[in-house]
């Protein structure tokens, strides 16, 4: 069916054209919205995309760097593109002699390619771990990075000035004489080629005309940054560095009856990374993090250790992956070449038990003294304990604290038992004797043992006797009840009277099948 223009009035034709125009406009708007706005429910996080990097001619900047001294080039950018001010720092230290550093610094960038000197980084930085982020303009990125770690020293300057002219001052009697010439050698004194010939001197003073190229006062990251917009912005730089570690130390003060203790923990941070971290937010990670170590360049740095003052605030603990992280509730200064101590925990009146422990097969006649407690909240503890050394003190009859022993603990989760070996008992002696060893038949053996415990103290003593019985065993005779501790070990817990003795005997049979 065809409609002719004559069959429609002008008003009808206008209405049709108006409706078609509205539909076309709606179609265009819908297409734009679908293209520019995310769909309901958020973006598809499962689909990755590649970021297109603009084509950049980096030879223009690299040519300037190589044709002039770095100092001369960077001086052009000193007021704008050089960054030394640390505005905010977060330091996460792992107990494996490395740390994660996060620094926020203000930076002024021009649109296009910028040369940036990023100073005051750790001397032991892993340059391959550096992550740069422009917090206002995410499309800013690092085109090229150089880590300049060839630092100024007398030996380096002499090495750089081989076959070049220097001036040295030499004390000759009461006078000082200067020699100017080409440096030939410096391994065994200074040897110069002067107008008068070759001169070998022991220099009191050396004057170098200028600082050589590629020799730096401090470790520096040299970046070529590409920015799409000009202006000031805050940037965050994240990297890993070696040379900074932390470890825990604990102090336990037991009461006169050896039934209660006051328990305090300290964190010691040793910063030998080559830079300081003022007003940093501090986090400590306890656990065994897997790292891949490769042979890489590294210079040795030696530093003196300086004691830091303890801080009153404690750490808050939380789980992180399969580790534990402790966050200090305030900012603190972690200075280079410094050992800082910060309070970790403090508990009072924690129940403990002193245990005498005897393993005659490995200890001979020595009876160990142990102090056991449970790391539970019910007993005033309950914080996961990082591995470290526990030192134990006890007051003597005059009220003065005396050191009674120390032991190392591993990472200890809450609700776990802690057993501290403090030393060997002076007044309790053990003696283990095998009284029978019989081969009953093929693969069938019988062994008997006698363990004598002698207590020279004026009070009764409880002793735990540990015995390794091997495999395929059966206890056929026993003078005292025992507890099976594992598939190959048993323990007797016996009372030894004051100034007396106690004898434990047992017979074990082994049957092997072959």
pLDDT of 4 over the 60 cut: no
Greatest mean pLDDT range, 156-160, 167-171, 292-296 = 167-171
CATH level 2 (architecture), domain 154-207: Roll (2.30)
Q: Are 232 and 79 in contact (CB under 8 A)?
A: no
477 versus 219: the higher-pLDDT residue is: 477
Which residue has better confidence, 382 or 65? Answer: 382
Instruction: Identify the weakest region by mean pLDDT among 76-90, 148-162, 196-210, 354-368.
Output: 76-90
Give the residue extent of every domain in the chain.
Answer: 59-151+216-242, 154-207, 244-291+301-351+376-415, 425-511
Q: Which of 73-82, 106-115, 275-284, 502-511 has the highest mean pLDDT?
A: 502-511
pTM for the predicted model, two decimal places: 0.63
pLDDT band at 491 (very low <50, low <70, confident <90, very high): very high
Return the minimum-mean-pLDDT range out of 152-156, 214-218, 220-224, 312-316. 312-316
Strand arrangement, sheet containing 112-119: 112-119, 220-227, 141-148
Task: Fold for 59-151+216-242, please state it.
Answer: Immunoglobulin-like (2.60.40)
Per-residue pLDDT reduced to its tens digit, 463-474: 999 999 999 999
Q: What is the pLDDT of residues 268-285, one digit of tens each?
A: 999 999 888 888 999 988
Can you give 159-212 as a three-state secondary structure string? Answer: HHCECCEEEEEEEECCEEEEEEEEEEECECEEEEEECCEEEEECCCEEECCCCC
CA angle 117, 120, 123 (to 5 degrees): 110
Per-residue pLDDT at 366 exceeds 50: yes
pLDDT digits (tens, 9 = 90+) for 22-69: 666 666 555 544 444 444 444 455 566 665 555 554 444 422 222 122
- What's the pLDDT at 317? 52
Q: How confident is the model at residue 81 (pLDDT cuts 50, 70, 90)?
A: very low
> Which three-class secondary structure state does DSSP give residue 476?
strand
Q: Do domains 154-207 and 425-511 have the same CATH topology?
A: no
Which fold does the domain 425-511 belong to in CATH? Answer: Immunoglobulin-like (2.60.40)
Average pLDDT over residues 346-353: 95
| Of residues 56 and 114, more confidently modeled | 114
pLDDT greater at residue 425 or residue 148: 425
* Confidence check: pLDDT of 70 > 60: no
Higher local confidence (pLDDT), 504 or 180: 504
Q: How confident is the model at residue 303 (pLDDT cuts 50, 70, 90)?
A: very low
pLDDT given for residue 340 in this prediction: 92
26, containing H or E segment: helix 10-36
Q: Are strands 315-320 and 323-334 parallel, antiparallel or unpaired?
A: antiparallel
Average pLDDT value for residue range 326-342: 87
pLDDT at 279: 87
pLDDT averaged over the chain? Answer: 80
Mean pLDDT in residue range 220-249: 90
Phi, psi of 380 (to 5 degrees): 90, 10
User: Does 344 score more than 90 pLDDT?
Assistant: no
Whose CA is closest to 235, among 334, 160, 330, 137?
A: 137
Give 438-456 pLDDT, tens digit per residue.
999 988 999 999 999 999 9
Give yes or no for residue 459 having a pLDDT over 90: yes
């Amino acid at each position: 069916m065809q409609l002719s223009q004559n069959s429609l009035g002008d008003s009808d034709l206008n209405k049709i054209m108006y409706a078609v125009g509205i539909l076309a406009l709606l179609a265009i708007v819908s297409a734009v919205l679908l293209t520019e706005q995310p769909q309901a429910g958020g973006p598809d996080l499962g689909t990755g995309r590649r970021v297109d990097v603009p084509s950049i001619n980096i030879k223009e900047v690299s040519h300037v760097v190589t044709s002039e001294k770095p100092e001369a080039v960077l001086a052009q950018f000193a007021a704008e593109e050089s960054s030394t001010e640390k505005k905010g720092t977060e330091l996460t230290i792992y107990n494996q002699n490395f740390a994660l550093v996060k620094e926020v610094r203000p930076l002024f960038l021009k649109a296009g390619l910028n040369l940036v000197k990023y100073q005051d980084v750790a001397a032991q930085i892993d340059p391959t771990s550096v992550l740069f982020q422009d917090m206002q303009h995410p499309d800013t990125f690092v085109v090229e990075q150089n880590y300049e770690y060839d630092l100024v020293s007398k030996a380096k300057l002499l090495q750089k000035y081989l076959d070049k002219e220097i001036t040295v001052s030499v004390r000759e009697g009461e006078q000082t004489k200067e020699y100017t010439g080409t440096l030939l050698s410096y391994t065994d004194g200074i040897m110069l080629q002067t107008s008068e010939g070759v001169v070998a001197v022991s220099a009191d003073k050396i004057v170098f005309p200028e600082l050589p190229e590629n020799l730096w006062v401090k470790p520096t990251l040299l970046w070529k940054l590409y920015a799409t917009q000009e202006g000031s912005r805050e940037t965050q730089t994240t990297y890993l560095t070696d040379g900074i570690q932390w470890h825990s130390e604990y102090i336990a003060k037991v009461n006169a009856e050896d039934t209660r203790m006051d328990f305090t923990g300290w964190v010691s941070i040793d910063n030998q990374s080559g830079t300081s971290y003022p007003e940093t937010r501090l986090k400590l990670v306890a656990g065994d993090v897997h790292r891949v170590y490769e042979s890489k360049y590294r210079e040795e740095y030696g530093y003196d250790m300086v004691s830091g003052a303890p801080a009153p605030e404690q750490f808050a603990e939380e789980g992180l992956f399969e580790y534990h992280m402790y966050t200090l509730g305030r900012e603190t200064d972690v200075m280079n070449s410094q050992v800082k101590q910060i309070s970790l925990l403090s508990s009072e009146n924690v129940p403990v038990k002193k245990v005498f422990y005897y393993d005659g097969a490995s200890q001979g006649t020595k009876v160990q003294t142990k102090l056991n407690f449970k790391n539970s909240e019910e007993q005033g503890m309950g914080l996961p304990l990082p591995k470290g050394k526990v030192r134990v003190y006890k007051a003597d009859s005059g009220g003065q604290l005396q050191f009674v022993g120390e032991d190392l603990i591993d990472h200890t989760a809450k609700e776990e038992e802690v057993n501290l070996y403090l030393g060997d008992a002076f007044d309790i002696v053990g003696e283990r004797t095998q009284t029978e060893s019989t081969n009953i038949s093929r693969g069938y053996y019988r062994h008997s043992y006698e363990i004598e415990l002698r207590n020279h103290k004026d009070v009764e003593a409880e002793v735990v006797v540990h015995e390794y019985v091997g495999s395929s065993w059966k206890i056929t005779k026993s003078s005292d009840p025992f507890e099976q501790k594992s598939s190959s070990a048993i323990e007797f817990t016996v009372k030894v009277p004051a100034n007396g003795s106690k004898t434990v005997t047992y017979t074990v049979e082994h049957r092997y099948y072959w």
